Amino acid sequence: MKMEDLQPIGKKHPFIIAGPCSAETEEQVMETARQLAGQNIDLFRAGIWKPRTRPNSFEGVGKVGLKWLKNVKKETGLKVTTEVANTKHVFEALKHDVDVVWLGARTTVNPFSVQEVADALEGVDIPVLIKNPINPDLKLWIGAIERIYKAGVRSIGVIHRGFSAHGVSEFRNIPRWQIPLELKRQFPDMMIICDNSNICGKRETLQEVAQKALDLNFDGIMTETHITPDDAWSDAAQQITPAQFKEMTSNLIWRREGNGKVALDLTKYREEIDEIDQELLDLLGRRMGVARKIGLYKKENNISIYQRKRWSAILEKAVMQGAKRGLGEEFISQYLEAIHQESINHQEEIMKTADVKS
């Protein structure tokens, strides 16, 4: 589908969205907005309906919060945006003059929901931002863009918020930068924003991730901002105060368009390699954690560390599976040898500590 008639959403570069993860009380919304109002932001965000992973978490204040957003507009002149996930949300948001709506990651992942929102937006002239789906599937992301476009919306932008993955990582949602960069390659004129809050999951790395996005020629950022972040009813660890937000944005280096242009493909491949290396390290760390548990079990049950049969089976299987992936036998055995040795070291250490304790 060619999308040559896309319209920009406001000024394109840099585009800044800030505001609380959730609208909680009128006072919290208004005060956050007041403190952000002087900061040259393009949109004030606040979640009204919150898609929470588990029930019994705070699920948003609902439509009463839309009245507060209206007051934000009236008092500060800021434009406002919120997440919509179904027909009712779209209807209420439009009724309360929300300026821009966004589709959350849990909506983009589901074509039924995206279509429902698209149908509700048919014939309505409101800009729509589309977050990436929670899983790293570029086609699903593009599919959502196409559904919204087919409904007649022409002001479309995307928000990169990272992708969920099992296991420990330094990110709440792994960025996998190669995916938004590929999207950017396919849709060079579409605004792309980095939601550093949902990528990081914690305050400490927000600036670093925002800078990375800007270095990759993203058009702007979306950052969760709260007057008292530690008391936030959702996503407390990743929110910052408006003052901290000001400090972060003033430290960012905003690349001018056309300036510092990156060799997109090479960067994309390097990002991919860096991320894979990072994941390999995470996995190795996890593997050693399991080895330590095995060490303890062997100790308690008086089994020797080295299990010759088990080791030969692992090696044989890996050589076979490696060959299918074009990996040489010598490489596989050296690689496994090194991992095995490290596992043994960990198990020995555990056994020694267990000895001392008993």
Site of interaction with Mn ion (CB under 5 A): 21, 235
| DSSP, res 17 | E
| Window of 55-63, 102-110, 289-297, 318-326 that interacts with ligand PEP by CB under 6 A | 102-110
CA proximity to 20, closest of 234, 214, 330: 234
Decide whether 84 or 291 has the Cβ nearer to ligand PEP: 84
Decide whether 25 or 334 has the Cβ nearer to Mn ion: 25
Are the CB atoms for 211 and 223 separated by under 8 Å?
A: no
| Window of 89-97, 98-106, 286-294, 318-326 that interacts with ligand PEP by CB under 6 A | 98-106
What is d(CA 327, CA 321) in angstroms, rounded to the nearest whole number?
Answer: 9
Decide whether 104 or 220 has the Cβ nearer to ligand PEP: 104
CB of 239 to Mn ion, least distance (A): 8
| Residue 131 interaction partner, one of Mn ion, ligand PEP, none, beta carbon < 5-8 Å per kind | ligand PEP
CA proximity to 176, closest of 194, 157, 163, 195: 163
Does the footprint of ligand PEP cover residue 240 (CB under 6 A)? no
- Please report how the helices 64-76 and 87-95 are oriented relative to each other, as an axis angle in degrees rounded to 10: 40
Are the CB atoms for 162 and 179 separated by under 8 Å?
A: no
CA proximity to 235, closest of 203, 206, 213, 208: 203
Dihedral of CA atoms 99, 100, 106, 109 in degrees, nearest 10, equals: 140
Handedness of CA 131, 132, 138, 143 (dihedral sign): negative
Does the footprint of ligand PEP cover residue 152 (CB under 6 A)? no
Does the footprint of ligand PEP cover residue 196 (CB under 6 A)? no
Does the footprint of ligand PEP cover residue 161 (CB under 6 A)? yes
| Residue 104 interaction partner, one of Mn ion, ligand PEP, none, beta carbon < 5-8 Å per kind | ligand PEP
Decide whether 141 or 233 has the Cβ nearer to Mn ion: 233
Does the footprint of ligand PEP cover residue 104 (CB under 6 A)? yes
Burial class (CB in 10 A: 0-12, 13-18, 19+), 125: exposed
CB of 232 to ligand PEP, least distance (A): 11
Q: How many CA atoms lie within 13 A of 175 on its CB side?
A: 28
| Residue 9 interaction partner, one of ligand PEP, Mn ion, none, beta carbon < 5-8 Å per kind | none
| Residue 105 interaction partner, one of ligand PEP, Mn ion, none, beta carbon < 5-8 Å per kind | ligand PEP
Does the footprint of ligand PEP cover residue 21 (CB under 6 A)? yes
3-state secondary structure of 314: helix
Does the footprint of ligand PEP cover residue 51 (CB under 6 A)? yes
CB of 183 to ligand PEP, least distance (A): 16
Residues in touch with ligand PEP (CB under 6 A): 21, 47, 51, 104-106, 131, 161, 195, 198
